[in-house]
C-alpha cells in the first residue's frame, strides 16, 4: 500500500520557496509532513561584519581541523538531525533529509566538514542559489568544530562573490559571530539584490584557497581574509 505522503519535496518547489524567503521544517524526526516557515524576523550574518574571537581565529589559522566541502553531505545532515541535550527531537525529518540530498545532487545544497585524524567532528549544511547561502543546521563533536566550519563558509562566500548569508533564526551563538536580525521584508529585498551568478562556486573558491596555500596553512588564508574589510 502506497503512503499518502510524499517521500521528498521536489527540488523546484524547494528552490522556489527559498527564493521567496520561505523554508520547510518538520515537527519531529519521523513526521511525514512539513510546514512552511516565513519568519517575521530573520537572522543574517553580513559578510563584512563577521566576528571571530581570538581563540577561534587561532583554531582556524592553525588548521586545528582539516576542512573539506561537499565530501560527506549525507553524514553532515544526518549528524545535524541527531538528538541534542537542549533539543531531544529534531525538525530535520527523513523527508527533509531526502529532499536536501536531492538538492545536493543538483548542486544547490552544500556541506562543510571538519575532521581530525579521519573522524568527522563538526560541520554545517545549507542551500545555495544565486549569490545566497541559506544555512540550515550545524553540529559539533569537538570544541569550535562548527564555528570553524562557519568561518570557512564565510571566507569562501566572500571570495566567491556571494552577497547574503541567511541564518534563519537568531541565537546567542550566531549573535556572538556577527549575526543581526532584520525584518522579513528587508530580507526579501536582500534576496532580490543578491540575484545573479557568483564569481565562482563555493567549491571553486575552496580549490583556489587550497591551491594558494600549497604546502602551507589554508586556514591561515581563511583567517586573514576574514580580518580584511570588503
pLDDT tens, position by position, 164-184: 999 999 999 899 999 999 999
Distances from the Cα of 9 to the Cα of 24, 57, 98, 181, angstroms: 9, 38, 8, 28
DSSP letters along 31-78, please?
-S--EEE--SEEEE--TTS----HHHHHHHHTTSSEEEESSSHHHHHH
| pLDDT for res 225 | 92
Helix axis angle, 11-19 relative to 94-105, nearest 10°? Answer: 90
What pLDDT is recorded for position 69? 98
Q: Which helix (H) or strand (E) holds 165?
A: strand 164-168
Q: Residue 58: is its pLDDT beyond 60?
A: yes
Specify whether the CB–CB gap between 203 and 80 falls below 8 A. no
What's the Rg (C-alpha) of the chain? Answer: 17
Cα angle 188-194-198, degrees, rounded to a multiple of 5: 155
pTM, to two decimals: 0.93
CA geometry: angle 128, 17, 13, nearest 5 deg: 95
Lowest mean pLDDT among 83-97, 103-117, 146-160: 83-97
User: Nine-digit cell at 38?
Assistant: 516565513
Q: Does the pLDDT value for residue 123 go beyond 80?
A: yes
Amino acid at each position: 500500500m502506497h503512503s499518502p505522503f510524499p517521500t521528498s519535496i521536489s527540488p523546484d518547489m524547494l528552490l522556489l520557496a527559498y527564493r521567496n524567503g520561505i523554508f520547510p521544517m518538520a515537527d519531529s524526526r519521523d513526521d511525514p509532513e512539513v510546514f512552511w516557515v516565513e519568519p517575521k524576523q530573520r537572522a543574517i550574518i553580513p559578510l563584512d561584519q563577521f566576528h571571530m574571537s581570538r581563540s577561534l581565529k587561532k583554531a582556524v589559522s592553525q588548521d586545528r581541523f582539516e576542512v573539506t566541502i561537499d565530501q560527506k553531505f549525507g553524514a553532515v545532515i544526518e549528524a545535524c538531525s541527531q538528538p541534542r541535550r537542549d533539543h531531544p527531537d529534531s525538525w530535520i525529518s527523513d523527508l527533509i533529509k531526502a529532499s536536501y540530498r536531492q538538492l545536493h545532487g543538483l548542486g544547490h545544497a552544500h556541506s562543510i566538514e571538519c575532521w581530525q585524524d579521519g573522524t568527522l567532528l563538526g560541520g554545517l549544511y545549507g542551500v545555495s542559489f544565486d549569490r545566497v547561502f541559506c544555512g540550515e543546521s550545524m553540529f559539533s563533536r569537538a570544541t569550535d568544530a562548527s564555528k570553524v566550519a562557519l568561518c570557512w563558509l564565510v571566507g569562501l562566500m566572500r571570495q566567491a562573490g556571494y552577497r547574503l548569508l541567511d541564518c534563519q533564526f537568531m541565537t546567542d551563538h550566531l549573535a556572538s559571530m556577527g549575526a543581526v536580525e532584520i525584518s522579513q521584508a528587508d530580507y526579501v529585498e536582500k534576496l532580490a539584490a543578491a540575484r545573479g551568478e557568483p564569481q565562482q562556486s563555493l567549491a571553486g573558491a575552496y580549490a583556489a584557497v587550497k591551491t594558494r596555500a600549497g604546502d602551507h596553512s589554508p586556514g591561515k588564508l581563511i583567517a586573514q581574509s576574514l580580518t580584511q574589510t570588503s
